[in-house]
Amino acid sequence: GENVEQHPSTLSVQEGDSAVIKCTYSDSASNYFPWYKQELGKRPQLIIDIRSNVGEKKDQRIAVTLNKTAKHFSLHITETQPEDSAVYFCAGIAGGTSYGKLTFGQGTILTVHP
């Protein structure tokens, strides 16, 4: 099955700085990589995702990049704001399945200091 490793486990930045979270995956046939944001006591919220046929996707201050050769993908947040503080999870889906069996990373606690 798929194995997803996420780093760092905690990340602290100053408001306005950029933040980068990286995930590696094991299954070379994986084809879908979402990122979720979870605020304390709330449900995970899908913020961006990327499929294996593209190398980068942007949505305002958030971007995700995918390197299929190296089997890693990264979340980039620019111009960070205090409201970006949350736990971020990456996930991957093993190749060959269409039923959404996501494997999640362990999460990154992002703190943005005003």
Partner 1 sequence: DAGITQSPRHKVTETGTPVTLRCHQTENHRYMYWYRQDPGHGLRLIHYSYGVKDTDKGEVSDGYSVSRSKTEDFLLTLESATSSQTSVYFCAISESEALPNEQFFGPGTRLTVL
- Which CA distances in Å does 93 have to 12, 14, 31, 49, 54? 28, 33, 7, 12, 16
Q: How far is the CB of 73 from partner 1 (least distance, A)?
A: 14
Which C-beta is closer to partner 1: that of 1 or that of 114? 1
Residue 66 tokens, joined: 């995918």
Which C-beta is closer to partner 1: that of 78 or that of 109? 109
- Which CA distances in Å does 11 have to 8, 17, 26? 7, 12, 24
Q: How far is the CB of 15 from partner 1 (least distance, A)?
A: 27
Nearest Cα neighbor of 77 from 32, 33, 11, 31 is 11
Q: How far is the CB of 38 from partner 1 (least distance, A)?
A: 9
Which C-beta is closer to partner 1: that of 51 or that of 61? 51
**Site of interaction with partner 1 (CB under 8 A):** 1, 6, 32, 34, 42-46, 49, 89, 91, 93, 98-107
